[in-house]
Structure 1
Amino acid sequence: MQTYRRGQLTFDVTDSGPSDAPLIVLLHGFPQDRQAWQKVTPLLVDAGYRVIAPDQRGYSPGATPKKRTAYPLSQLAQDVISLIDAAGADTAHVVGHDWGGAVIWQLAQAHADRIASATTLSTPHPEALLWAMRHSDQWRKSSYMALFQVPWIAERGVLRQLPEMYVKTGMSPEDAQKYADRFSTPQSLTGPLGWYRSMAAGQLRAALPRRKRAGAGHEAKRGKITVPMSYVWGTRDFALGREAAEKSAEFVSGPYEFIEVEGAGHWLPEVNAPEVAEAVLRRVQSTE
């Protein structure tokens, strides 16, 4: 499978391993794409799994809506459910890094019946992140999100930092260059930045006076997560701090493992592929 469709959207994917093996779906973060998993995928395939890594909404050319409200977590998670359907699977093990990790939390919350296990890399539970914004210096680490709300300026601001931003935060020059080539124009960053802009729009809607809000869906109801889950976090992550990482356990009632990778930074799939694959396989195999 090279692509799949959801409505009018067409997503590009990399599909590896035997088609009849248990399915692992890998979700990239920002500003990355499915290339993030090039070092992790062979390790999972060698262990006997089918591995699909999509370019997500805003990254696939055929799945880049223009509206800033087109990227809520509910829709991003539903994109993954459509991928699982297209792959012919009833359930999947899901793994996500950075923004992909936020989608993982949403999938585990809203689609538990379709998720065999979940592994998030770097990204805390959203309520743990909000708590850390109020009780730690996480707000400093996340202050760039305010700039990302400004059209035209944000795209050009990010573009000027590539590829140096990746290298300064721990990625190899080779991996950094492939992303700089991928995001080589301001227009190529508008879809990815839509994730941040839609998040802000959703928070504004949530702040409105109480009333029944159409389309609130699963995001309006949050209980503890029961899906078997692992959270992998690098102790030198420049974007996401320890407070939110440790707080996340409070929002999970099912089997859960918090894995610290000592000395690792934010770019876990590219820089720490063996540790990532080991954590994913341990979680996946614990459900078999």
Structure 2
Amino acid sequence: MALFDDVRQVDAGVLNIGYVDAGPPDGDAVVLLHGWPYDIHSFVDVVPLLTDAGYRVVVPYLRGYGTTRFRSGDAMRNGQPSAMALDVVALMDALGIDAAKLAGFDWGARTADIVAALWPERCRGLVSVSGYLIDSQEAGRTPLPPKAEIAWWYQFYFSTDRGREGYDRNRYDFAKLIWRTASPQWTFDDATFDRSAAAFDNPDHVDIVIHNYRWRLALAPGETQYDELESRLAGKPKITVPAITLEGDANGAPHLDPSVYGKQFAGPYEHRAIGGGVGHNLPQEAPQAFADAVRQV
């Protein structure tokens, strides 16, 4: 089973980020961003497809995962979206990458969307699973229809002290349940899950996850230095860079139809439906389709 066994570390912004850096150093850069509860190994089969095509591929652990750590013990363990987007910009700065293609799913897709929207000069192209995921606390306050609300059961669970403690005690069983729910036709084995689950041993993991979901419901404050960015994101800025959105035909996680979000892409844009029982973790379940989109965007 493939394993990323050359994880490097670099100081970038408020973090010391663990990341994989593969392919020719002078190749066009691609940054791949994972989601919750996954890790860099979602891209383990995508990376060689891109490096073989001549790309330099950077795959970081998000804050709260793997070997990524806060540089200060006093830093707020903040999971708000604008902070995670700035992590990517800081990483690119630290690695001397002026602009890159950005691609991701789940939290990673949202992060890539934000960078593309707010700093388009840093993004040569965007691949986003489940489309336009930029949102705001104000939108999070608005109740959804019951059928939609029930799909977010874990978000409400995390809003309680019981939920925080339950996630901390059972993070591996919890993650496995999410994997199975979000990708009901993906027959991953224990070794595949365990390879990614090791990333949840990060000492900041629970704090980041809980804050992320509580912040979305306006149940936890963010940090004031991100207020201006969050205000801009609340206006749902258009994405002007070339973009491809992807959706698996068996995605069991909450997601919108592309007809709802397509208007948010104001540049060259294409949506691709990926068949064959592909769920939420699209790059790991359909690496060829994901890599093709990255190359072609």
Same fold (TM over 0.5): yes
Q: What CA distance in whole angstroms lies between the structure 2 residues aligned with 1:11 and 1:115?
A: 20
CA-to-partner distance for each residue in 1:131-165, whole Å, 9 max, x for gaps?
99746843222222111233222323443345455
Aligned counterparts, 1:1-288, within 5 A: 2-64=8-70, 70-122=78-130, 124-127=132-135, 134=144, 137-150=147-160, 151-163=164-176, 165-167=178-180, 169=183, 170-173=186-189, 174-183=191-200, 188-201=205-218, 215-221=226-232, 222=235, 223-243=237-257, 245-262=258-275, 263-283=277-297
Q: What CA distance in whole angstroms lies between the structure 2 residues aligned with 1:274 and 1:135?
A: 36
Q: What CA distance in whole angstroms lies between the structure 1 residues aligned with 2:125 and 2:202?
A: 37
Cα shift at 1:87: 1.9
Distance 1:231 1:62, change over 3 A: closer
Cα shift at 1:59: 1.2
8 Å CA contact 2:64, 2:202 repeated in 1: no
Q: What CA distance in whole angstroms lies between the structure 1 residues aligned with 2:154 and 2:27?
A: 41
| Percent identity over paired residues | 27
Q: TM-score, length-normalised on structure 2?
A: 0.80
Cα shift at 1:189: 3.8
Q: Which runs of 5+ in 1 are unaligned?
A: 206-212, 284-288
Q: Which amino acid letter does the alignment assign opposite residue 12 of structure 1?
A: G
Cα shift at 1:11: 0.5
Q: Greater CA deviation, 170-179 or 56-65?
A: 56-65
Q: What CA distance in whole angstroms lies between the structure 1 residues aligned with 2:150 and 2:90?
A: 36
CA-to-partner distance for each residue in 1:99-155, whole Å, 9 max, x for gaps?
101101111111111111111123543359x69974684322222211123322232
8 Å CA contact 2:249, 2:274 repeated in 1: yes
Q: Which amino acid letter does the alignment assign opposite residue 172 of structure 2?
A: L
CA-to-partner distance for each residue in 1:232-277, whole Å, 9 max, x for gaps?
111211112343x431112121111111112311111111111111
Q: Which amino acid letter does the alignment assign opposite residue 159 of structure 1?
A: Y
Q: Which amino acid letter does the alignment assign opposite residue 239 of structure 1?
A: A
Q: Which amino acid letter does the alignment assign opposite residue 156 of structure 1?
A: R
8 Å CA contact 2:21, 2:58 repeated in 1: yes
Q: Which amino acid letter does the alignment assign opposite residue 172 of structure 1?
A: F
CA-to-partner distance for each residue in 1:195-245, whole Å, 9 max, x for gaps?
32343348878xxxxxxx7642222123322111111111211112343x4
Q: What CA distance in whole angstroms lies between the structure 2 residues aligned with 1:203 and 1:189?
A: 14
Q: Which runs of 5+ in 2 are unaligned?
A: 1-6
How many residue pairs were aligned? 274
Cα shift at 1:23: 0.3
Q: Greater CA deviation, 136-145 or 183-192?
A: 183-192
